[in-house]
Structure 1
């Protein structure tokens, strides 16, 4: 995997960590955190969508529908009270990480996703505990 992907992945953690550390600064911080989280979750589904479109054996209606789940779950989370949103987002990140492990066999990508998902889930847990 190219180095740029690693740097961009780690840079994507900045809003999660920054908003978690600054959660008391503004009431809008919670909205910013959950919205950013839903967007990133949707992005993870888009990765599988791109793979499905590039590999004919993956381009099945079932797989393409599954690729839409992160977007729908992220959107649903935004409609819930904060504790419900955080719980749904944590579960979605963990389930999608498990799905990634069974579907994408690139060790470098798997390692990166594990690291990124761990930090994201920890940030969500901090929010959940303090909500």
Structure 2
């Protein structure tokens, strides 16, 4: 896997981590931090649907993958409509984990990329889920 992909993947964690620190250090109003975190999480979750949309189109796959590709965007949007509800971060967090497992089962990747992609997704998803836990329990 290209270094650029890894760097960009880890750079995507910066808003999660900065918002966690802002919450822990009481840098901004809690409600604002929570809204910004939820918005970023929903937008980033939507990105994973795009990966499956592209994979389904480029691999000429039919069936469930095109439909599943829409779920992260719909889930993210529904979570945005429920700003302030405690369960929203749990739903977003669980969605990241479920998409990671779905990726592993469905994505058409060259064999040389499977191990690297799986490791990268596992580490990124772990940090994302832990960031959600910080937001849930430090709130």
Unmatched runs of 5 consecutive residues or more in structure 1: none
Q: How big is each residue's C-alpha offset from its partner over 1:35-61, in whole Å with a ceiling of 9 and x where there is no partner? A: 0000100001111111111111x2x25
Q: Does residue 130 of the first structure (1) align with residue 138 of the second (2)?
A: yes
Q: Distance in 1 between matches of 2:28 and 2:9?
A: 26
Counterpart of 1:9 in structure 2 is: 9
Does structure 2 conserve the Cα–Cα contact (< 8 Å) formed by 1:42 and 1:74?
yes
Aligned residue pairs: how many? Answer: 129
Counterpart of 1:119 in structure 2 is: 127
Q: Does residue 94 of the first structure (1) align with residue 100 of the second (2)?
A: no
Query: Of 30, 33, 37, which residue of structure 2 is paired with 1:29?
Result: 33
Counterpart of 2:71 in structure 1 is: 69
Show structure 1 runs of 4+ deviating over 4 A.
none
What CA RMSD, in Å, does the superposition of the two structures yield over aligned residues?
1.3
Unmatched runs of 5 consecutive residues or more in structure 2: none
Q: Distance in 1 between matches of 2:2 and 2:22?
A: 32
Q: Distance in 1 between matches of 2:66 and 2:122?
A: 23
Q: Distance in 2 between matches of 1:126 and 1:74?
A: 19
TM-score, normalised by the number of residues in structure 2 = 0.87
Question: Which stretch shifts more, 96-105 or 68-77?
Answer: 96-105
With CA pairs under 8 Å and 6+ residues apart, which has the higher RCO, 1 or 2? 2
Does structure 2 conserve the Cα–Cα contact (< 8 Å) formed by 1:35 and 1:78?
yes
